[in-house]
Amino acid sequence: MRKLDRREFVQMGLAAGSILALGNTPDVVARVLGKRETRNKVIILGCDGMDPHLTDVFMKMGRLPHFETLARQGAFRPLRTSTPPQSPVAWSNFITGMNPGGHGIFDFIHRNPENYLPFLSTSLTKPSTKTIKIGDYVFPMSGGGVELLRKGEAFWQILERHDIPATLYKMPSNYPPAPTKQRTVSGMGTPDILGGYGTFSYYTTQHTVLMENMDGGAVFDVSVVRGKVEAKLFGPPNPFKNEKQDTFIDFTVFVDPMNRVAKVRIQDHEFILREGEWSGWKQIHFPMIPTQSVGGICKFYLKQAHPEFKLYVSPVNIDPGNPALPISTPESYAKELNAKFGPFYTKGLPADTKALDHGIFDDGDFLTQDDSVLEEDRAIFDYELGRFDSGLLFYYFSSTDQRQHMFWRCIDKDHPAYDPLLAQKYGNAIENIYAEMDGFLAKVLSKADKDTLIIVMSDHGFTPFHRAFNLNTWLKESGYMKLISERLRDAVYLQNTDWSRTRAYAIGLNGLYVNVRGREGRGIVEPGVDKESLVREIAQKLEAVTDPLTGQQVITKAYVASDVYQGLYVKEAPDILVGYNRGYRSSWSTPLGKVPMNVLENNMEKWSGDHCMDPDVIPGILFTNGKVNADFPSLCDLTASILQVFGIEKPAGMVGKNVLQFPA
């Protein structure tokens, strides 16, 4: 998912300043020398995006022997995902055991109904409520901070109430971390230091233009003068300045005129890179005021020394050794890992898919960078698995998701972006990352005893993304949306919309809203019968859309939110959740609120596989050594089942049911 502009995210955040018994299950928890210890234990591997069909194919090829072992010991099932099947929604289902109507996360992107503007769905930065101005500086006095928008209680908070320990590494949809004494590190949704999903910096003598409709990076034209490149690395806006100007660090690169090497000097770091070489993590500090700076970590990659100079700098991650924003509970946990392993990726999705899509990375560059993510994952995983002896351990892997997004074009000859030469070279990228997960599972199988429940799960599966559907264009052509000017179709965030004549609009990857009077800032559709009738009408028409190029149904199901959601927050949901058919997805213009000329277009990007479709098209996976008493369990069922392993009945509001029997 591409980052929306939230330049003030960090600016405001940086400026802010008894155990229950287990009833009738006395043998589940025992105390040994004052240490909490559970007889039953649970180890969960969260492999984002692992697909049941591909998993079955790779098992039959012999690439996943330990998955085969686990399936023989217990079960292998497709796992029903969320509606819509987007990662922040799906993981929130798993975290809370509720559907979006209960936890309030409906998409990567939500909208403010008063002004129609989008915002990232899982967290909100609040400004200080009281400030004082001294000269050119503004100082926060009270209030402010970052708020987790996901509602409901996380399952590890429930475990904590029952004195059951848990460790959760890189749990998605949990930034900032939900309050707990359990050890947690936040995952997907954790921003870089600029406050978004990740903005790389690219310095080059070769004029480079980034792709339209995509952000996530900044290109800086530089010159090599007498063997030197002078440049700036930009940081977050200065929260203490009236002008809110960006912070920056000057740095210098000395380019060897004869050899393909360069020396980088930035703050107190000086290091040499050969062409094609990555640096380790570099801790840097952006000055704010004489007594205040914001620290972060980044990596440098010398793509080319000459004849053209090309230097990539990773998004500046929150420094786990000195976090400027909350990324762990307790705060000391991230620092503990940093002290033992050194700095590590903290940005929610660390693989730089944007650099690959923009052409800054080639496929090999991307795999090298994501391999470094996997090596960090491996080191910390071995550490946590080695010391795990009680309660629950959850460990998350993003590489399965990210590599399927970027390399599906190499396994699908029907994809518009298929290249046989690249397929020959990189066609095993997805298969290999599944095999890597098999290696992690092997370690779990060797660690687990008879009292350990093993679960391998994914939040959703994967499918090709061949054709992009411009939902706002369809709404316009169908008469539900009106524009101010035909010449301003590229206006972002629906700013070219004539709200006085618009009855419906789209924001996000799967969400469609009716422009309701009294709910939207300039709504015109009457609530009640008129709104309900319009929702049903649009849903029916969407399901009838066919692709003139292929003759296929584009949208297999348009879900009406009031039909599929339960809970306190149903009224905040999009009115319709668009369930795309296999091979189809919303365009990148749709979440940006643009209205291109064509309803359908080929997807020629490297981002070639996806999952933001009809949930029935892309279930996730469930492997376990327990017995599964359901043919098609859901993410919410899994949550209730985990609690039951520890003798805890699911709380009110949780919609899942226990589907696991352990021991089998």
Amino acid 8: pLDDT: 41
List pLDDT tens digits, range 539-551: 999 999 999 999 9
Predicted confidence band at 6 (pLDDT cuts at 50, 70, 90)? very low
Q: Which amino acid does the sequence have at 77? A: R
Round the CA-based radius of gyration of the chain to a whole number and report it. 25
Q: Is the pLDDT of residue 559 over 50?
A: yes
Extract the tokens encoding 555: 């949208």
Q: Is the pLDDT of residue 18 over 60?
A: no
d(CA 71, CA 110): 38
Extract the tokens encoding 371: 């391999």
Q: Is the pLDDT of residue 192 over 50?
A: yes
Q: Which of 206-210, 348-352, 378-382, 451-455 has the lowest average pLDDT?
A: 206-210
What is the average per-residue pLDDT within 427-449? 98
Residue 617 dihedral angles phi and psi, to the nearest 5° = -85, -30
List pLDDT tens digits, range 447-499: 999 999 999 999 999 999 999 999 999 999 999 999 999 999 989 999 999 99
Q: Is the pLDDT of residue 21 over 60?
A: no
Q: How many CB atoms lie within 10 A of CB 292?
A: 16
Percent of the chain with pLDDT over 90: 85
- What pTM did the predictor assign? 0.92
DSSP 8-state symbol, 509: S
d(CA 219, CA 235): 14
d(CA 83, CA 570): 13
Domain ranges of the chain: 200-314, 466-610
Predicted confidence band at 26 (pLDDT cuts at 50, 70, 90)? very low
Extract the tokens encoding 314: 């990773």
Percent of the chain with pLDDT over 70: 91
Predicted confidence band at 289 (pLDDT cuts at 50, 70, 90)? confident
What is the average per-residue pLDDT within 598-614? 97
DSSP 8-state symbol, 581: P
Name the H helices within 478-579: 529-543, 561-564
Extract the tokens encoding 516: 């309701």
Mean of pLDDT over the chain: 92
The DSSP element (H or E) to which 406 belongs, if any, is: helix 399-407
Predicted confidence band at 57 (pLDDT cuts at 50, 70, 90)? very high
Q: Which of 31-40, 196-205, 535-544 has the lowest average pLDDT?
A: 31-40
What is the average per-residue pLDDT within 192-203? 92
What is the average per-residue pLDDT within 216-225? 95
Predicted confidence band at 52 (pLDDT cuts at 50, 70, 90)? very high
Q: Is the pLDDT of residue 577 over 80?
A: yes
Amino acid 242: pLDDT: 66
Predicted confidence band at 370 (pLDDT cuts at 50, 70, 90)? very high
List pLDDT tens digits, range 98-143: 999 999 999 999 999 999 999 888 888 766 656 555 555 555 555 5
What is the average per-residue pLDDT within 80-97? 98
Residues 111-149 as b/e (b if ≥16 CB within 10 A, e otherwise) read: bebeebbbbbbbbbbebbeebeeeeebbbbeeebbbebb
Q: How many CB atoms lie within 10 A of CB 70?
A: 22
Tell me the Ramachandran region of residue 226: left when phi exceeds 0, alpha when psi lies from -120 to 50, beta otherwise. Answer: left
Amino acid 515: pLDDT: 98
Amino acid 5: pLDDT: 42
